[in-house]
Chain A
Amino acid sequence: MEICDLPAYTLAELIQHKEISSLQAVESTLERIAAVDGRSGSLSVEELKPEDADKVHAFITLTADQARQRANEIDKALAIGEEVGPLAGVPFTVKDIFCVKDTPSTAASRILANFVSPYTATPVERMISDGAIMLGKVNLDEFTYGSSNESSAFQPSTRNPWNPARVPGGSSGGSAASVAAGESQLSLGTDTAGSIRQPAAFCGVVGVKPTYGRVSRYGMIAFGSSLDCPGPVARNIMDAALMLRTIAGADPRDATAANIPVPDYLSTIKREVRGMRIGLSPDFFKITYPDPESGEIHQTPIDAEIHEAVLRAAGRLAELGADIVEDVPMPHTRYGIPVYFVISRVEAASNLHRYDGVKYGYRTPDQVQTLQEMYRKSRAQGFGLQPKLRILMGMYVSGAQYSEQYYNRAQKVRTLIRKDYEDIFNPKGAYRLDALLTPTTPTTAFPIGDVYGDSVLMQYADQFTVTANHAGVPGLSMPAGLDQNNLPIGIQLLGADYTEEKLFRIGYAYERVTADDKWRQVKPKALVQ
């Protein structure tokens, strides 16, 4: 096993005990990146070459020199016995939706391609101050608007390390792919409808969407401000817990970061799950989606292999003494996407108005007569199709004559979605669950090009993840097997507000009880070539 394949927790221990140096960790990871990543995403219109086909393309910006320099500093500090932080020497990547001082912060959009941030996002700052070493910024769907990474203005977009003809998921596709391929131990992602959990499921890694307000959004380029959650992508549950402990907590720079102490997740993670109540809901075993042409609503069962993986996991947890509660009703799950089509678009349109070619980012080079013409041309040339689509929908559903029937109705249905969760987690209610166990996604990773362009179908990839964003509750996706195409299957744990500690406990127990399962020995294709 290479150093870059070690989990973060193990690597951090070896570095603390000076058995491995930070520089060795960084060099091992940079070697892996050189071997598997191929060319970084860029705005160039160069055609895809044959040699691009089997590479991961996780990165937009690699900060190798800064990483080596930082590793040297940490190694020196360790040598003289200075305190270096619990993540000292552990490499991590950052989804390029976070601002990092003196680093291009692009949102994978032409409109921010030349933007070099003058400040650093709080979660990144916390990683760095705990000793973690940033290796670079990784690719995503433009402004996070997608579930496949294909909409990035920086091409080639990220490929799935398990099969480079498949998407890595999105929007935190670069984060999940970089962690899965050994190109970093940890990655900082964001989740607005499933953007951490869905790519984590597709790439066979762990992804956590914390409770809304658990992690500061300061320095994160905003999409849906009432839904966005920064969170960890990691190789295993322990690493995700380790990372969340570092990035979580109140922040004077973000008025929505709650003033609630951060538990030491690691101190409770090994406790047994005996007696914990874990629910299964039929509403998460079928998908509801409209026919794109007729609008007619269809309902189909999810992939049988994914359904079985969830039931198998429930069985293993039952063996450990957990109480499995079946037939838990989550009746408003099917409305998660329609509600999201309204609320997230209104918030996106509002957040995207700041890109105007005046203060930073792209300004049209065309000769223009007026300020308005400059706005229109800069935005037309700077934004790709997905941001334009979201702005226009946001404009429509929040328009004075439509907002009652669309925006206000969606916010009321959001209340009902929230209530579904409040009911099942209510300690005095009928179900009294500690967690709900569901599939993360209705399918495993789909082929590149299959869904892209159909904005409705693409959005429905988030059907099982989006309601947690509406409700604000935490969700965790973890690998639970491989399908017949050797693609990872992800299962999800959803919990009540601020109960990440319970999700980690259940996830860790599941990981231990399945440690010797055959599928856990299978490696992503990108690593065996």
Chain B
Amino acid sequence: MTETITPEIFDHLVQLAALELSQDESEYLRKQLNNQLKAIHELEAIPVNDSDEITMHGVSYTNKTAPEMRADIWKKNIDSEDILGQAPQIEDGYIIVPEIPHEELS
């Protein structure tokens, strides 16, 4: 685990993250990421095995403490107008977005 995040890997991450960054931002962020990676490398000092358990969250739930399943009954929730009203652009109850690039299927 001695990798650093190279400019090429960084650009790939930016793509995956659906971001675009200025030169200054990129330099700052890549430096911070590599500094954080150095901190993360401290974990190498701990021997772990394939068979070791992982923890997804600290407190485990038992059948007794897990919340009861809700009854399958329809309940009115938030008005859809209130939710749609938050969308930057709507028309006739639809959310409008720019062109989605696609290929025509023949």
Contact = CB atoms under 8 A, between A and B. Distances in A.
Interface of A: 115-116, 118-119, 211-213, 226-227, 250-252, 254-260, 289-290, 292, 294-295, 297, 332, 334-335, 337-339, 341-342, 349, 353, 356-363, 368-377, 379-380, 383, 385, 388-389, 391-393, 395-397, 405-406, 408-418, 454-456, 459, 469-473, 497
B9 A385 contact: no
Given A250-B67, A369-B98, A371-B99, A389 B53 contact: no
Please name the 5 residue pairs, one residue from A and one from B, whose CB atoms are nearest each other, closest first.
A472-B58, A295-B38, A472-B59, A360-B86, A411-B54
Nearest to B59: A472
A410 B43 contact: yes
A118 B82 contact: yes
Interface of B: 1, 5, 9-10, 13-14, 16-21, 25, 28-29, 32-33, 35-36, 38-43, 46, 48, 52-59, 61, 64-68, 70, 78-79, 82-83, 85-89, 95, 97-101
Contact of B18 (A339, A376, A412): A376
B40 A342 contact: yes
A497 to B, nearest CB: 5
A254 B68 CA distance: 11
Nearest to B61: A258
Contacts of B95: 358-359
B58 A371 contact: no
Given A370-B101, A470-B55, A455 B46 contact: no
A254 B70 CA distance: 11
B16 to A, nearest CB: 5
A397 B40 contact: yes
Given A372-B101, A408-B54, A292 B35 contact: yes
Nearest to B52: A412
A227 B32 CA distance: 23
A409 B54 CA distance: 8
Contacts of B32: 389, 455-456
A373 B98 contact: yes
B39 A337 contact: yes
A305 B79 CA distance: 55
B33 A396 contact: yes
A431 to B, nearest CB: 19
Contacts of A374: 97-98
B14 to A, nearest CB: 7
A335 B54 contact: no
Contacts of A454: 35
Contacts of B100: 370-371
Interface centre among B28, B46, B55 (most CB of A within 10 A): B55
Nearest to B82: A118
B18 A415 contact: no
A211 B40 CA distance: 26
Given A372-B101, A373-B98, A415-B53, A380 B58 contact: no
Contacts of A408: 54
A388 B43 contact: no
Contacts of B52: 412, 415
B18 A369 contact: no
Contacts of A470: 55, 58
Pick from B41, B43, B52 the residue with the most CB of A within 10 Å. B43
A212 to B, nearest CB: 5
Contact of B58 (A212, A257, A289, A294): A212
Contact of B86 (A115, A290, A295): A115
Contacts of A410: 40, 43
A117 B89 CA distance: 17
B81 to A, nearest CB: 9
Given A258-B66, A297-B42, A118 B86 contact: yes
B5 A369 contact: no
A440 to B, nearest CB: 19
A300 B59 CA distance: 31
A215 B67 CA distance: 13
B43 to A, nearest CB: 5
Contacts of B38: 290, 292, 294-295, 456
A418 B19 contact: no
A391 B17 CA distance: 7
A341 B98 contact: no
22 contacts: A118-B79, A118-B83, A118-B85, A213-B61, A226-B58, A250-B67, A252-B70, A255-B66, A255-B67, A257-B67, A258-B66, A337-B39, A342-B43, A349-B17, A369-B98, A379-B19, A388-B21, A411-B54, A413-B48, A455-B35, A469-B58, A473-B58
Nearest to B97: A371
A360 B67 contact: no
B48 A409 contact: yes
Contact of A226 (B9, B28, B46, B57): B57
Contacts of A383: 19
B67 A212 contact: no
A229 to B, nearest CB: 10
Contacts of B58: 212, 226, 414, 418, 469-473
Given A339-B43, A371-B99, A459-B39, 19 more contacts: A115-B86, A118-B82, A212-B57, A255-B66, A259-B64, A290-B42, A338-B41, A341-B40, A349-B17, A360-B86, A363-B88, A369-B98, A374-B97, A389-B29, A409-B43, A410-B43, A411-B56, A417-B55, A470-B58
